[in-house]
Every structure is written in structure tokens, then in C-alpha cells.
Structure 1
């Protein structure tokens, strides 16, 4: 946080106070103006350090976070600025971003709560199998779900937004995935523990690694491909090492998805002046959720079109194949309900709430 030079401020207040001495009280109007001018000199100026795990060219920064920062700057009269630290430039791993913002290493982070396995159990419900159909509708639903069911586990933060990646497609290098049996034996990168459990239930072998390492791992044959959002495909050059892509039909929930969030250091937010807090609040929450949803769906559509243009193969799981996958992954949901129950949460209630909000109950 950057405030104007304290010495100059003190001098301005000292000068202003001369007009407010008893012998100048008759000049009350001048006194008031002087004090207002001195108060203006104290106007808080803030630079927010924003960290995330993708390259700076990724749509998340270019189409969501940068425009959000532009809005903050304009609405604050230039008093809120942003400095980006993409691709983990502040050090650490994506799993450590939640701690970096909590401890003040960064002021704002974009990260996945699920990268810190088991730390935020209630929000994980949206990463259960076949919960997410697209980014826009599921992000709206997730924001509601957070407000109703998951606020306590994020009490240490100022939560600016929640959204989903819109559902993850299957991206493979050497052969297409066709139906349930197509997953058997495939080593695929997964982003969360529930994604790993879902893949295992489908017969695949999950491998955890940061997004930045996926392309190289596929090119070297360490993994056969990845479960990942379309938004990642071109920024991480996944398109260069995978030739086959598969997903459910439009409007059908995906096997797995990632919950993502924008978190702000609570002390940094609390230290803002009331007018700057109002600016942050105005452009965060629902407006930021909507922006994420729209951009992620748009980027998914563009990426699907582009992979076809470069000669990659895009296939769609049939309704019968999806039904078989849902049966195969039902155990993941039951196990999750039991595990969060041991942490004092009503897992079945949370699942029902999430499925009602997303419209993904059995048969939908």
C-alpha cells in the first residue's frame, strides 16, 4: 500500500491549521477549504500485487483480471493500481497461493481451493463428478452455494469471486478416448483430488502436477494426456502435444471440473479507506463471477473451434456413454459425503444443494 509522503502531508496540515487558529475563526469558510484540501492530500493510493499460476497471456489475466483492475483504477480516480505476478513469479506452487495471500506475500490471488487438498471441504462439492455443465451457469450456482454453505471456511480471506472452469475435457496425445472403456490404463494429469478419484473410478491413472509442467510431461510420454479446461489448451501449448479431445455434448455435465476463486488478503482490504472498499466491492462478487463465466465459455468455444482448424480430432461422448460414466463414478460422491461428514459437515445436504443449484440431479 502506498500513501503520499508523510512529511509533505504533515506540512500541508500544519499550514491548513494556521487558518483555523482562534484569531482566524472569522474566516471559517477559508478554514474549511484549507482542511478539505489537506484531507485530499491524504487520499489513499494502493497498488495490489496479484499472483496466479498461468502465463500472463492467459485469458484469465488478459480478459478478466486486467479489465477488473482497469475498472478499479477508473472508478477510484487512479488511486487503485495492480501489479501482476503471473506464472508463480512470487515463488512457491499453485497449492501455496492460498497461504501467500493469507500471509500477505500477495494482496490478491487467483487459484483453485482444491489445489490444497482437503483444506476447503465444503466448496469441493462442485468438483464432484458430473456437477458442472458450463462456466456461466455453474459459476452463478457456485457463488450462491458459497454464500449459503461455504463462507466459514473462507473467513480468513476477503472473497472477491468464485467460478468454475466450465468442466474439463479429455486431451490425449496418441489415441482418442471413446466411452467408459477408453479411460482404462490412461495416465492423465488431474488438477484436484476429486478429479483424481473420478479418473480412477473411470479406470484411468491420475497424475498430479502443476499446469506449467503438463505439456512437457506429455511430450516426454510421462503422461498420456490431461483432464483440463479449454481455457488452458492454447496458453499452456497443450494443443501442440495432444491430438485428440473428448467431452460430453453441450448442456451435459462433465466428468470433472475445477473450482477457482479470487481471494484478497483480509488485512489489506480492511486497511482500505471506505471509498476504496466501495470500489472493490462494486466490481467484485457477482459482476466478477459473471465476467469469469462469460470469458471461460467464450474461450472454450474458441478453443474447440481452433483445435479443429489445426487438424486435431474433437469427439463427443454419447448419452449412453455418459450414463455409464455416472454409474461408475457414483462411489466418488458417496465417499466424499462420508469424508466431509467426519469433519462435521453434512455431505449429503451439500451435494443436494449443489445439484439443485446446477440442475445436475440424477437423470439431468
Structure 2
């Protein structure tokens, strides 16, 4: 019995420091938003949790504000190892990630937290194929955003002739359908587009209007949840593959729906609070749509679902199955409008 006890004790001692003996990994984490954005402290807390769980063998350095590359390039940066972990807007590259683009269709999700739970749980089936060049970590979204502009827009037809900065590929398709002109710009570039008069309207979340200084250049905002944007955190495949089994488990434990929701809820509150801030601005009008106007918007965006289905089918995915699975996930998480 003594020998058995001694053997177990020795084994326990061997297991305990195993992770501490792992080769240290120093992750370069790239975000294209500034440090004032709520994603920055969320990401910092996330990486600090990884460091603690790995007994200090996984450390991270955060590079915000496009220090390592432009917002549009962040998927390729993770693929190519320019950064080890990157924050990605799949909608910045039209047609490249057709499956996850379903979450960009207007009037799909009610809020960031529940919407993220539904999206992330659903997308885990499709991410390994659609984002095969990297290790998918999790997907999340911001709280529903709206259309902000220099002229008052109440019905879809008002967009005809306007120059609009879209939030992603799906709202870009909507602008084109309605006879508007798209002005492509990442979030950090949006203010400059409006300031120079290159754009006269923008699809943007509410709190970020102030964070990026966009609110100074518009006069009208529709008080309706017109759209959401999908985001992911992805990891360089080589970085992950070269980790020890214990370190991989730490990463896997931090690439979960639960972590995705933590990110989304913190950011969601920030964006939602922006509505009241916008309403308090002098010489700025935040207005609700009538039931008839809102119904017209809903009717107008219906073709976007078929466009999504066509793109998904070309990628080898059955759109009917994918859509049913998403709707089931939305229902389970009470995430719909």
C-alpha cells in the first residue's frame, strides 16, 4: 500500500508541473479597433485568463488600432502568421465566407448576447470548412445597428442616389438594390469618408458612432434594429499545432460559446447605450419608423436571403438545411426579433 501511495504521489507531482514545463508561447493578438473600444478590455481579460490557466506558459501581447495590418486583412494575417490571433469581420470580404454571412441579413437577431449564443453554436459545424486556413475560435456580433445619414431616410426608396458606407457585404448588396452607391471603408476609416463628403450615410452601431467620431457628420438616425455584423476570433494554425496538449486544451477552453457571449454582452451594452447619447445630441433627430415603413423595410430585404442561399449553394452547403439549423438555434436561445 505504501508503494502504491508513493507511486501516486510521485505521479501527482509529475502532472502538476507538466504545464509549467511546456515551452512558453507568446501570442501576438491583433485588433483593428482602438483601446477605447470595449473589445480591447474583453480581449485583455480573455488572454489573461489563458495565461493563468496555462500557469504562465501562454502569454499575449495585444496590438490594437491596425498596428499589424488593415482591418480588411485580418483573416489573412491569421492564416499567414503575421499575427497569432486576429479579430475578423468576415463581411469585409464579399463572397469569401458565404455561410456566416447569413447573420448579416437584416432583422435576424434581436440583441448581441442571445444572438451570439445562437450564431456561435450554429456556426461551429461550418467554420472548419469555411475558415479552414485558420483555427476558428468563436463567432460573435454587436448589438443591432442602424442607418445614420445627412438626409432623413424613412423608406428604402429614400436611399436611391445616396452614397452609403455599408457595414458589410450584405448591406452593400441592399444599397445597390436600392439604387445607392457604396463607399467601402472599414470602421476606423468611416469618419474620414463622411468628413470629406465621400459618403452621406452610414450603417453603423450606436455607441461606435461616438467612439469613431462619426456622430459629428450626420443629422438623422433611424431608431430600429436594421442589421447586425458578424465577427470571429481566429488563430494561426501553425501556432496552435505547435502547442503542447495541455496548452491546446487551454486554448480550446477559451474558444467557446460562453466566451463569445462574454465578449458580445460587454460590447452590446456599450452599443445600446449609444442610442440615448444620440437622442441627447442637439440638432440631431433619432426617429422611429411607422409600422408600415418598417414592413416596407422587411419586405425589401427579403431578396437578400435568396442571395445568401445562392452563395452558400456554390460553396457546397445546402442552404435549406443551414437556414433551418440557424432558426432552430435562434429559437433555442430566444434570439430572434
Structure-2-length-normalised TM-score: 0.86
Give the 3-state SS of the residue equivalent to 1:97 in structure 2: helix
Per the alignment, residue 69 of structure 1 pairs with 47
The change in CA–CA distance for 1:356 and 1:185 in structure 2 (over 3 A counts) is farther
Per the alignment, residue 353 of structure 1 pairs with 325
> Of 271, 275, 279, which aligns to 1:300?
271
1:27-106 equivalence runs, <5 A: 42-62=21-41, 64-91=42-69, 93-106=70-83
Query: In the aligned structure 2, how far is the partner of 1:136 from the partner of 1:32?
Result: 43
CA distances 1:213-247 after superposition (whole Å, capped 9, x unpaired): 21011111110121012342222111222232213
1:1-364 equivalence runs, <5 A: 42-62=21-41, 64-91=42-69, 93-172=70-149, 174-248=150-224, 254-311=225-282, 312-358=284-330
Give the 3-state SS of the residue equivalent to 1:166 in structure 2: coil
Structural RMSD (CA): 2.8
Q: Which has the larger radius of gyration?
A: 1
Q: Is the CA contact 1:129–1:198 (under 8 Å) kept in the aligned structure 2?
A: no
Q: Is the CA contact 1:162–1:261 (under 8 Å) kept in the aligned structure 2?
A: yes
Unaligned runs of 5+ in 1: 1-27, 249-253
Q: Which moved more, 1:238-247 or 1:207-216?
A: 238-247
Shift of 1:343: 3.1
Give the 3-state SS of the residue equivalent to 1:148 in structure 2: coil
Q: Is the CA contact 2:312–2:318 (under 8 Å) kept in the aligned structure 1?
A: yes
Shift of 1:327: 1.3
Give the 3-state SS of the residue equivalent to 1:317 in structure 2: coil
The change in CA–CA distance for 1:75 and 1:204 in structure 2 (over 3 A counts) is same
Structure showing greater relative contact order (alpha-carbon pairs closer than 8 Å, 6 or more residues apart): 2
Q: Is the CA contact 2:164–2:182 (under 8 Å) kept in the aligned structure 1?
A: yes
Give the 3-state SS of the residue equivalent to 2:51 in structure 1: helix
Q: Is the CA contact 2:98–2:308 (under 8 Å) kept in the aligned structure 1?
A: no
Q: Is the CA contact 1:59–1:231 (under 8 Å) kept in the aligned structure 2?
A: no
Query: In the aligned structure 2, how far is the partner of 1:37 from the partner of 1:197?
Result: 55
Give the 3-state SS of the residue equivalent to 1:310 in structure 2: coil
Query: In the aligned structure 2, how far is the partner of 1:32 from the partner of 1:331?
Result: 62
The change in CA–CA distance for 1:356 and 1:200 in structure 2 (over 3 A counts) is farther
Unaligned runs of 5+ in 2: 1-6
